[in-house]
Structure 1
Amino acid sequence: MKAMSLRISSLAIFALSIQGCGAAQDLPQGEMIACAIGNGAEFTESCVLEIRGDGVMVLHQPGGGFRRVRRTGDGIESADGAERIVGLAGGSEAFTEFAIGHDRYRIPARFGIAVE
């Protein structure tokens, strides 16, 4: 009888641990944008652009990381100050492309952001 109760309790603990691991992460509110996170990464529509009311935008990465940028007129600057924002030549009329460190982002032109 003891072995049976041990198996049932082990099964219950296992089921609870799977349920916790399988819970869907809440995505932040915002718009999906293209990003390439890390050296040599390809662009995918996997980042979320969250626009806050205080002029700060948060670029949420798929792995849980994020970058904060601040609007400055029609441009942006790093809100954290850790790394500079660098405009990239890959931008077009449809989007603005820039890098922060080894991470690259494409923000749709309708947001009116220019990066030098």
Structure 2
Amino acid sequence: MKPIIPILLTTTLLAGCKAQPVATTSEVTGIACAPGGAANFAPDCGLDRMPTARGTVLVLRHPDGGFRRLLASKDGLVAADGAEPAKVTKLDKGMIEVALGTNRYRLPATLGARP
């Protein structure tokens, strides 16, 4: 007969570790990016948007599982993680290029704008 207490304890601990849902308003794939200093852009990144009291947090997901976070507010677009500042450059046709360290992303200029 196998002891039942370790199984019950494991089940109880796992039930207590349930992740709280995050209010993600959208998930977009096919974002043009050049992560890690890549020479060329490719539509390989994903994007999640999460509204907060300070603005919209944009989570840019890399194909290798890495990610970077930006905060889009009425004051502009800034890095929401780490000490590296976000450098934003306007491109043609309503697009911007955002550089965070060695990572670069091309995004619609209106992404994350607050009403």
TM-score by length of 2: 0.63
- Deviation, structure 1 residue 40: 4.1
Distance 1:30 1:112, change over 3 A: closer
1 CA distance for matches of 2:44 and 2:64? 10
Give the C-alpha shift of residue 110 in structure 1.
4.1
Whether the 8 Å CA contact 2:29–2:44 is kept in 1: the answer is no
Larger Rg: 1
CA-CA distance at 1:64 after TM superposition:
0.2
Give the unaligned 5+ runs of structure 2. 1-25
- Asked if 2 retains the 8 angstrom alpha-carbon contact of 1:74 and 1:112, the reply is no
Q: Which residue of 2 aligns with 1:111?
A: 111
- Counterparts of 1:67 and 1:40, CA distance in 2: 16
Contact 1:97–1:105 under 8 Å retained in 2: yes
Equivalent position of 1:6 in the other structure: none
What displacement does 1:50 show? 0.8
- Relative to the length of structure 1, the TM-score reads 0.63
Q: Is the contact made by 1:33 and 1:107 (CA closer than 8 Å) also made in structure 2?
A: yes
Q: Structure 2 CA distance, aligned partners of 1:61 and 1:44?
A: 11
Alignment of 1:53-68 (within 5 A): 53-54=51-52, 55-68=56-69
In the TM superposition, 1:1-116 aligns within 5 A as 29-54=27-52, 55-73=56-74, 75-88=76-89, 91-111=91-111
Q: Percent identity?
A: 40
What residue identity is the alignment partner of 2:47? Answer: L
Larger strand percent: 2
C-alpha contact 1:38 1:102 (8 A) present in aligned 2 = yes
Shift of 1:32: 2.4
Report the count of equivalent residues.
85
Q: Deviations over 1:34-85 (max 9, x none)?
A: 0001224210001111111222110001100000111121621111132111
C-alpha distance in 1 between matches for 2:75 and 2:107: 13
